[in-house]
Amino acid sequence: MSLFEQSLPEIHNKLHAKELSVSDLVNQAYENIGVREDKVKAYLALDEERARARARQLDDRLVSGEEKGLLFGLPVGIKDNIVTNGLRTTCASQFLSNFDPVYDATVVEKLRAADTVTIGKLNMDEFAMGGSNENSSFYPVRNPWALDRVPGGSSGGSAAAVAAGEAYFTLGSDTGGSIRQPASYCGVVGLKPTYGLVSRFGLVAFASSLDQIGPLTKNVEDSAYVLQAIAGYDAKDSTSAKVDIPDYLSGLTGDVKGLRIAVPKEYIGEGVDPEVKDKVMAALKVLEGLGATWEEVSLPHTEYAVATYYLLSSSEASSNLARFDGVRYGVRAENPENLLDLYHQSRSQGFGPEVKRRIMLGTYALSSGYYDAYYLKAQKVRTLIKQDFDNVFAKYDVIIGPTAPTTAFKLGSQVDDPLTMYLNDILTIPVSLAGVPAVSIPCGFSDGLPVGMQIIGKAFDETTVLRVAHAFEQNTEFHKQRPQL
């Protein structure tokens, strides 16, 4: 059995008993990368020299008996839009192909304080814009379950690395489903925390009112461990929430008796693959057998969520990406005729097609004469979508449905059809617009490909979301299955 198949408590017990070293764990990560990475392409950069040095430091602490962090010794991969001091951060874009940050994101600092080892930076859709990881300007990631399939996006590298055993866990970012959808496609656990629970300081912004960092792990318990380490208020993030952080691990009781589950009819209706629906309905029966109850409900404004999201996120992207002008950092065009030509050439050469598409869409929505008709109206609809969730949560504890309407699709099959690509996020986008937490967990397989179930909770109630996910997981075996590479 691979070391990465063992539970976190098992690994820590072996570390404390000197049956295992941190160097062994890091060796396992790089050994798996050496065998599998040519097929999967999950990483954009590796940090092997510093990782092995860090492992030796932690091994010395094992001998000395010093106090150990919550995630002691675990090898982690970081999505390439989360800045890392001294380790290139490109956002999978040619524009930042030479960008070496001089500071760490807050989540990276917190992981270091928890005694993890950073293995490398993970591939993604450029500037987190995409749902298949085919928008990386370097190379696409492949799904470890079927190498001709996409891993999902934009955190496709983060999900694929966990599924392939190339990291013990990873961090991704979720704007409209970019943790949960790839988790579903790759058969791993992906958690999008409540907006404001985890600091965004050091996350390269796509859409600032939606972006949130979260973990991708092989099981729910690991997700609770990582969230415990990275959650909390950060004065460096103006959107960070001052809330008490509960003990997420103590909430994994397995008890869901009396739990009230809502199942939106919009999440299991037209457009959702029948086999995906069947797997989710079977999962609901498991929870029903554990004492939970469920009823069908309606989230009536779901049909407007995709249009609302792409107007708002593209508008924010247009504003956020204005800083990439070839002057301060990133790639600069050679021999421009003047300053305006420098901007034009640098942005034309540095940004890929999908990024340009969203900048143009967002700029149009924010422009004079169209602001009220598009951007302002989208903000009003966002409020209605949030109210839908508030109304359901007044009666129910969690909302459950599929994470994605289908399993992973084939590479190249949708890349030239952006509207079809955008609709793959139809079940995750409403959650992001409402700012509430959700986790995707494996709930079955369809033609050998993983199916994900999405569990959505009230704002800052990650405890209940994780408890329900853990209860289901403990009564099934889906999370234990791994692709054969």
Q: Looking at the annotation, which residues are catalytic?
A: 79, 154, 178
Encoded amino acid at 405, one letter: P
Cβ-based neighbour number of residue 48 at 10 Å: 13
The first and second tokens of residue 63, run together, are 């001998």
**Which residues are CB-contacts of 367 (< 8 A; sequence separation ≥ 6)?**
none
Encoded amino acid at 439, one letter: V
Cross-strand pairs, 79: 122
3-state secondary structure the chain: CCHHHCCHHHHHHHHHCCCCCHHHHHHHHHHHHHHHHHHHCCEEEECHHHHHHHHHHHHHHHHHCCCCCCCCCCEEEEECCECECCECCCCCCHHHCCCCCCCCCHHHHHHHHCCCEEEEEECCCHHHCCCCCCCCCCCCCCECCECCECCCCCCHHHHHHHHCCCCCEEEEEECCCCCHHHHHHHCCEEEECCCCCECCCCECCCCCCCCEEEEEECCHHHHHHHHHHHECCCCCCCCCCCCCCCCCCCCCCCCCCCCEEEEEHHHCCCCCCHHHHHHHHHHHHHHHHCCCEEEEECCCCHHHHHHHHHHHHHHHHHHHHHHCCCCCCCCCCCCCCCHHHHHHHHHHHHCCHHHHHHHHHHHHHHCCCCHHHHHHHHHHHHHHHHHHHHHHHCCCCEEEEECCCCCCCECCCCCCCHHHHHHCCCCCHHHHHHCCCEEEEEEEEECCEEEEEEEEECCCCHHHHHHHHHHHHHCCCHHHCCCCC
**Which residues are CB-contacts of 472 (< 8 A; sequence separation ≥ 6)?**
283, 286, 287, 441, 443, 453
**Which residues are CB-contacts of 238 (< 8 A; sequence separation ≥ 6)?**
none
